[in-house]
Structure 1
């Protein structure tokens, strides 16, 4: 604030409005954040290899001996809360832990209590800020901070102590399997649940209550009906009618992601033809194409000078070069 009021900031010599400066700083901060996360993944990927990864995996995923195995999860919660209290950011802790889970160093059963502990650790920031408040507002600030703390504790008690209530583990495994098969689903998930759903809820709250009831109640009822049918299909399918024992009665685009995957692949095919990345798959493909283009075409006269048993060398069309993941076309094929 003092730098901005005194005119000593990076955009002091630019005649830009405040909103333009804010947009530029927002984009720059997002780029820096994404760059830091990418570098964290790369550094951890290069560091956690071989014997180091095996030792860390054994230490982090080891449980206490019976009958104290249940204490391990709560100790992981305390470790997550303590680490978050030290770094004062749950985003840093979870961002550093996510690559470890991706590399197989930490199991999802161990990552779950660590994440819950990091959420508890974020409440310490509000408590410390409340303790730094003036005397006349200290009581109110502490009340708000403790409300935040007990809400988080209530959520942890709701979703962790009883084993069958640990639904986030199952949801994480299911979404991870889908994202591993369809890479675009992760982007779709972020767009829907971090942008579209909050905007829709905000719009419903801004509208009148008849609109909220008329639109929200049918959506909730349909979701509950699908959830109940899905549970009955997996647990006790004999209770359901024969037609509802599976989803084959629905169109393919409503019960499978294969048609949507075809549309996404078709939309991104043009980008794949002009791929300029340096991944190993694309590099091998382009090396193969370069070798084919460098092979000289043999004329009929040159082929006659060879032995009878030797076949004439001919140039191979680009369409015959097999590159996985890259759709090549011949030079005579119209785009």
Structure 2
């Protein structure tokens, strides 16, 4: 190979890596936008469903509501935060909240399946990707099938968590929910859509008006005098694409959903193409061996625990089990990660997402949230 060919090869490799990182960034942003779209479409319904306290007293109904609510808003963090707020406001007892959280964990795994469906063009890749995606589903379903009957019969989780929180002197810390990945994605996603995070919670708590919008259209307000009384009126629109669009929330959500799905499919298609060009032959075999090979000798059984730790740490960093496991799905489809190795990564991701939940609880407005 001549010097010019070598330079050209290196530059091509660098450009592919840059393109890969850019597409991965857009892929994550697309997932974020899709979540926002689902919230706009189904957020008000979700809030009203949570407001039906009588239904939530049934653990099976609570499980299904948690599942459906999370599917509607495509975010277990949103549904969990609603539950935390309701518990904090004494609207929902902790015992009734537990099945809802279980349902939310099942609902959050739907994103993986949606990502796997984008690889349906190639039979073999789709088969592997779908199998990898359903690992998360099966783990969550099996966990619920085991733990929910025990919880209904004995309130084991309620008593266990109560004992833990009493033994640890937890204090409220408003800064305990650090942002990692969102710091990078916000500059783009918040230029497209900006949601009022408290709106769905307000609907669930019964504190919102009937025509409340889930969009945060105004970023600043001013006081205007009217016959000696001061009224707070909007002053400045927030700088995002749909701020001045006078459409219903569901319609904006539908448009945003179409945009995000197109972007998601396109990013995933290009990601797979670049990965296929980068990870082929010897390179693919090396990465496959690094990711899927066990430790030698007596340390062989420690390999899954390392994978669990990696999954946990990465989920904490990205603040979302959906994003982490959805990123694994196309890699499984390409045969880079085996389904057997995805399982411990998924376990770690589930542990990581509980830690982010604890971080969210530590930002509670009252001690009862804890």
Scaled to the shorter chain, the TM-score interval is 0.3 to 0.5
Which has the higher Rg, Structure 1 or Structure 2?
1
Q: Give the strand-richer structure, 1 or 2.
A: 2
Q: Give the TM-score normalised by structure 2.
A: 0.34
Higher relative contact order (CA 8 A, sep 6+): 2
Q: Give the TM-score normalised by structure 1.
A: 0.37
